[in-house]
Amino acid sequence: MRRQVLLLSVAAALVAVAASSGTALAYPQFQMSSGTNRCGECHYSPAGGGLLREWGRSEAADTISRGGDDEFLYGAWEPPKWLALGADFRGVTGIKESSDTSRSELLLFPMQADIYSRFAFGKSLSLSVTLGGRGAARGFPRPPLGSREHYLMWQPNTTGPYIRIGRFYAPFGLRQTDHTMYVRRYMGFYSWEETYNVSGGVIEDDWELHATASAPDPVQVGTGRPYGGSLMYERAVGSNLRWGLQAKVERTNVRTRYIAGGTGKWYLDGPKLMVMAEVDGARESIDSTPRTQLLGHLNLSYFPVQGVMVGAAVEHYAEDLSVADTARDAADLMIQVFPRSHWEVMLMGRGEQIGDTHSVLGFLMVHYYL
């Protein structure tokens, strides 16, 4: 039985790698709600996301899902101590309707196929590499394969100081899994927008600080790839409340943008409700013409039973506060089911209003991880 499961897993991986894309981050909803306060307890990345530690695999099976085998490849093969491996595969089908078109658009595409590897050199030094496909809802991207993250990191312990250098998602904001959320799409963290960074910080049980200097991917040329840097600070108040402050600067040859904002996370034990919010203000100058921007995000997640998460989110992004009909508003409803370890099924509906134009999107996503 284990051999059959292994063969099916490998076959699914090969099919998905052929033409998929996406970004794999941790679900911030599980911070505190699962009894784990720090993202770095479950993930090797200090700020969360990507490859799971042994503790993260155990939590995914025993706390988040409705049980199951938490081992890599279901225990069919155990990597050596210096090597950690993992993978994320997501496929999506859905329908999109917009008021500016006369037809419905059918979506059917592989969203993600990422394979993670981490090589440990002693206790403190490691090399992490993520390889995956660059899929899309429409057309075929070039190049079809790539590496969103590859970095060298010095981190003696899961708490205390760390330094890493390479390409990765710079710590900032709520770090939502969905790359289309405004807090990612319009803050410079859209799919495949990971920058090359030199980052360092300190992580403790009740607070964390991250500082990052960034440069664009040298392979992707153009004026839209900025240099810059960011700061992020988060502090816990008790075991169920965390607040954060953040700042970021982006600069290209035609644009300068300064961003400042804050985040909040509050888990209510009684109703099993997670509340998350982010507010960011920005001052952007394009060819010396300034404009002021505002972004707001509110997310509610309810856990009725183990293995089920029901969520709702509202978002607002004003691209220029001085110009009418430039704001975007969106509302999302989500049902996520984690029937067994290694599996997730998500049903989502989204409505968006941009000036006089509105659109509705509904999709089904199946997520499998190793």
> Over the stretch 285-295, which tens digit does the pLDDT of each residue have?
998 899 999 99
Q: Is the pLDDT of residue 358 over 60?
A: yes
- Within 13 Å of residue 71, how many CA atoms lie on the same side as its CB? 11
Instruction: Report the number of distinct structural domains present in the chain.
Output: 1
Residues 6+ apart with CB under 8 A from 53: 41, 42, 43, 44, 84
**CATH number of the CATH domain containing 120:** 2.40.160.10
- DSSP E strands in the chain: the ranges are 83-98, 105-121, 125-133, 145-154, 160-168, 195-203, 207-215, 227-236, 241-251, 255-268, 273-286, 289-302, 308-318, 327-337, 343-354, 357-369
pTM: 0.88
d(CA 98, CA 121): 52
pLDDT in tens, 211-239: 999 998 887 655 467 899 999 999 999 98
pLDDT at position 211: 98
- The domain in which residue 68 lies consists of 2-369
Give dist(CA 65, CA 340) in Å, integer: 5
Answer whether 98's CB lies under 8 Å from 359's CB: yes
**Both tokens assigned to 187:** 């803050």
